[in-house]
Amino acid sequence: MAHTDAEKTKQLRKDVAPFAKSEMSKSVQQLFNTLAPMIVLWALAFYVMQYSPWLSVLCSVFAAGFLIRTFIIFHDCTHGSFFKNKKANDIVGFITGTLTSFPYEKWKREHSIHHATSSNLDKRGIGDIDMLTVDEYIEKSKLGRIGYRLYRNPIVMFGLGPLYMVLVLNRFNRSDARKKERINTHLTTLTLIAICAILIYAFGWQAFLLVYGVTLFIAGSLGIWLFYIQHTYEDSYFEYEEDWDYVKAAVEGSSYYKLPKILQWITGNIGFHHVHHLSPRIPNYHLEAAHENVKPLQHATTITLKTSFESIRFKLYDPDSKKFVTFKEANALIALRNKKPIQA
């Protein structure tokens, strides 16, 4: 997208405004076609466990797709976009948040900060995947660089990441959290513990891990991947505070992840992430229409399922060239700046 000015920004916001309205019928329909199949798959997974654990795992894999879609509903509720009524968003948000292991109030606040600071190099750290610039990486100690390399390793990020997110990150609040948020987090955790205890008592811990555990792990891993790919691609937009622009951060700093229709449905249209960042009040079921009807949005960086895997290589951001680079490319940049290359 070309450089945005006040006139273009105003027009763009005006163009997407008609799509920022929830529809009760579509929201209710989405609840039924998401939660009902997921619960049926879970019940079936527990039932077939007596015949074949592998068949049970297969049911859990399919349930993971619906759990991702459940998270999108939760995500819309935190933005107040799934229903017009705030209380309805809060109730459904708490239920879907519990099912996906996310505390509603905590994630709502931290995710709103993410939207307000996305692609701002001076305001990273809340609701983001940790990312260093080349210079910040240089300034790290050797131990710090090793730690960062481990963090950005796909096995750690997408393998251990879901476990850390579910067991640690989602269970504790930040120090500046208010009482309402803390209570909601603890209530979510206690509700989860109660549900897990009942399932373990009824079916055993092995069955519990093969059904709910597998579902949550797969959905969590794919969820992290979706969040990663939507902001990590070679020419993604990042600027320091003085040059940062909200609209450019939305349209140039968030990708259009063009997925096959079945995957687009499972992921609740979140591939239209540039549209979502521009206007978080657009419910997931209107994101595609906004993209197709507002021409400037079609200029966002398009990533396909095939090309998205290239982004795994990108580890650091170089503000000078305004692009993501690999560790190898970073060393070359360091050498060009007459600095000693960092040993891995």
How do residues 214-260 score in pLDDT, each as one tens digit?
A: 999 999 999 999 999 988 888 888 999 998 988 888 888 889 999 99
Q: What is the pTM of this model?
A: 0.91
Average pLDDT, the chain: 91
Report pLDDT digits (tens) over 255-283: 999 999 999 999 999 999 999 999 999 99
Task: Tell which wins on pLDDT, 21 or 127.
Answer: 21
SS3 assignment, position 302:
strand
Confidence of residue 342 (pLDDT cuts 50, 70, 90): low
**The pair of three-digit structure tokens given for residue 176, joined into one six-digit string:** 């500046």
- Alpha helix ranges (H) inside the chain: 6-16, 24-48, 53-78, 86-100, 104-117, 134-139, 142-151, 154-155, 161-167, 179-203, 205-208, 214-229, 246-252, 261-266, 273-278, 287-293, 305-308, 327-336
Greatest mean pLDDT range, 132-141, 185-194, 303-312: 185-194
Indicate if the alpha-carbon torsion angle 120, 126, 130, 132 is positive or negative.
positive
Token pair of 185 as six digits: 């987090």
Task: Give the residue from 272, 231, 268 showing the smallest Cα distance to 114.
Answer: 231
> What does DSSP assign to residue 258?
E
Q: What does the pLDDT read at residue 2? A: 44
Candidates 218, 215, 211, 217; CA nearest to 52 is 211
Q: Tell which residue, 218, 205, 206, has the closest CA to residue 65.
A: 218
Kindly state the average pLDDT of the residues 108-131.
Answer: 89
Q: What is the pLDDT of residues 310-324, one digit of tens each?
A: 899 999 999 988 899
Please give the Cα distance from 116 to 113 (Å, whole number). 5
Q: Cα dihedral angle (308, 313, 315, 317), rounded to 10 degrees? A: -70
Q: What percent of the chain has pLDDT over 70?
A: 96
Collapsing DSSP to helix, strand or coil, 164 comes out as helix
Contacts of the segment 224-227: beta carbons below 8 A, 24+ positions apart: 224/129, 224/157, 224/158, 224/161, 224/162, 224/165, 225/158, 226/68, 226/257, 226/267, 226/270, 226/271, 227/129
- How distant, in Å, are the alpha carbons of 76, 155, 161, 228, 325 from that of 158? 23, 6, 5, 10, 20
- Kindly report the length of the chain: 344
Tokens of 31: 């609840």
Say what the pLDDT of residue 329 is: 87
Residue 338's pLDDT band (cuts 50, 70, 90):
low
pLDDT digits (tens, 9 = 90+) for 160-196: 999 999 999 999 999 999 999 999 999 999 999 999 9
Between residues 190 and 7, the one the model is more confident about: 190
